[in-house]
Amino acid sequence: MEGRAAALGLELRIPSPVEEVEDDLFARQRIRLYLKRDDLIHPEVPGNKWRKLNYNLEAAADLGHDTLLTFGGAYSNHIRATAAAGHHLGFSTIGVIRGEERLPLNPSLAYAASRGMQLTYMDRATYRVKKNPKNPEAIEALHQQFGDFYLLPEGGSNELAARGCAEIPQEIAFAFDVICCPCGTGGTLAGIAAELQRGQRAIAFSALKGGQFLAAEVDELQRRAFGATSDNYTIECEFHFGGFARKTAELQAFIDDFRQRHGLTLEWVYVAKMMYGIRALAERGVFQPGTRVVAVITG
Ligand SMILES: Cc1ncc(COP(=O)(O)O)c(C=O)c1O
């Protein structure tokens, strides 16, 4: 899809740049910290959004679909990115939003609608079971209403998404030891961990409270995408700051300090929690002196 994107004038910054961060705390411990700036891939389809969509859009086109349908909460980054990708690459898009319609639309949904996405709403009980193969009625009803479409799962995480994310470590030209990413559904981690060399490991930081269940999701995605699981990753579950899309004064102070020292405003739902977690692990002496740590800025 990158070829088609370029042909349609969608300029993607791939490979995304890698930047070293000069930071006293890490320097004192002789740890080198690098940022893999996936947030710079495209302003409207940034970070792991493009990585996850790339091969899915290719599959949709190959299968002759002209419509994408996907799911998300009312503030979903994935909904926005799918709307933008569809607009730029010539797909119609349908966004199935969890819960009741609220008017006026919030800025995320207003943006998706401005990119041509048709919005529809699904009650929370149906939304919870929509993926369960024992309950095919929810998806069948969507086909009855909207006809043929290529279905992207919530958060965009499926096998093809994991394969797209596997390209992140492939693009890093130097030998690193640890690669870190945020974790919401596990698709990004599943891809990254599958593509590491022997001796390298991945650490993911759950943006959700109670993220322990994510390891099983990652394993399942790896099995489906790559035929095997990898045992080279861990998921840190203590840096959720109260839960998904919750923020504390401490997290905000960290974001402000990082911006002042490094000139980068960290996306707070996922990326800031990861960066805070990396710093906390460094302070605890988890990384040996000389460790090269790459943090993937996923959005
Ligand atoms: C900026 C950002 N980082 C990380 C994630 C989590 O990625 P995953 O769902 O693949 O674990 C998301 C959500 O998809 C996100 O929007």
Q: Is the CB of 211 under 6 A from ligand 1?
A: no
Task: For the chain, give the percent of residues with pLDDT over 70.
Answer: 100
Q: Report the pLDDT value the prediction gives residue 57, as an integer from 0 to 100.
A: 96
Each residue of 1-39: b (16+ CB within 10 Å) or e?
beeebeeeebebebbbebeebebeebeebebbbbbbbbb
Q: If we measure between CA atoms, which residue out of 289, 269, 299 comes closest to residue 36?
A: 299
For the CA atoms of 102, 107, 109, 112, the dihedral, rounded to the nearest 10 degrees, stands at: 160
What is the pLDDT averaged over residues 62-85?
Answer: 96
Going by alpha carbons, the residue nearest to atom 12 of ligand 1 is 184
User: Binning pLDDT at 50, 70 and 90, where does residue 9 land?
Assistant: confident
What is the pLDDT averaged over residues 264-270?
Answer: 97
Q: Show the DSSP H helices in the chain as ranges.
A: 2-7, 24-28, 47-62, 77-89, 107-114, 124-129, 137-146, 159-165, 167-170, 187-194, 214-226, 249-262, 271-283
Q: pLDDT tens for residues 164-186? A: 999 999 999 999 999 999 999 99
Q: Report the pLDDT value the prediction gives residue 7, as an integer from 0 to 100.
A: 66
Question: Got the DSSP string for 200-228?
Answer: -EEEEEESSTTGGGHHHHHHHHHHHHHSS
Q: Is the CB of 298 under 6 A from ligand 1?
A: yes
Q: pLDDT tens for residues 26-47? A: 999 999 999 999 999 999 999 9
Q: Report the pLDDT value the prediction gives residue 200, as an integer from 0 to 100.
A: 98
Q: Is the CB of 50 under 6 A from ligand 1?
A: no
Cα 124 to its chain centre, rounded Å, is 23
Kindly give the distance from the C-alpha atom of residue 28 to the centroid of ligand 1, in angstroms, as a whole number.
31
Kindly give the distance from the C-alpha atom of residue 185 to the centroid of ligand 1, in angstroms, as a whole number.
7
Q: pLDDT tens for residues 101-150? A: 999 999 999 999 999 999 999 999 999 998 887 788 999 999 999 999 99
What is the pLDDT averaged over residues 83-99?
Answer: 97
- Provide the 8-state DSSP code for 1: -
What is the pLDDT averaged over residues 279-295?
Answer: 97
How far apart are the C-alpha atoms of 155 and 160, rounded to whole Å?
13
Averaged confidence pLDDT in the chain: 96
State both tokens at 184: 């919401």
Can the peptide bond before residue 104 be classed as cis, meaning omega within 30 degrees of 0? yes
The three-point CA angle 47-87-119 to 5° equals 95
User: Binning pLDDT at 50, 70 and 90, where does residue 10 land?
Assistant: confident
pLDDT over threshold 90, residue 281: yes
Q: CB–CB of 183/206 below 8 Å?
A: yes
Q: If we measure between CA atoms, which residue out of 228, 280, 230, 231 comes closest to residue 251?
A: 280
Q: Work out whether strand 292-296 and strand 233-236 pair parallel, antiparallel, or are unpaired.
A: unpaired
Strand-pair partners of 122: 98
User: Binning pLDDT at 50, 70 and 90, where does residue 98 land?
Assistant: very high
Task: Give the residue, out of 38, 188, 208, 266, with the most ligand 1 atoms within 8 A of its beta carbon, to mutate for a pocket test.
Answer: 188
Q: Report the pLDDT value the prediction gives residue 213, as an integer from 0 to 100.
A: 97
State both tokens at 218: 């990652």
State both tokens at 68: 């994408």
Q: Is the CB of 164 under 6 A from ligand 1?
A: no
Kindly give the distance from the C-alpha atom of residue 79 to the centroid of ligand 1, in angstroms, as a whole number.
12
pLDDT over threshold 90, residue 48: yes
Q: Is the CB of 182 under 6 A from ligand 1?
A: yes
Q: If we measure between CA atoms, which residue out of 138, 136, 226 comes closest to residue 187?
A: 226
Task: For the chain, give the percent of residues with pLDDT over 90.
Answer: 93
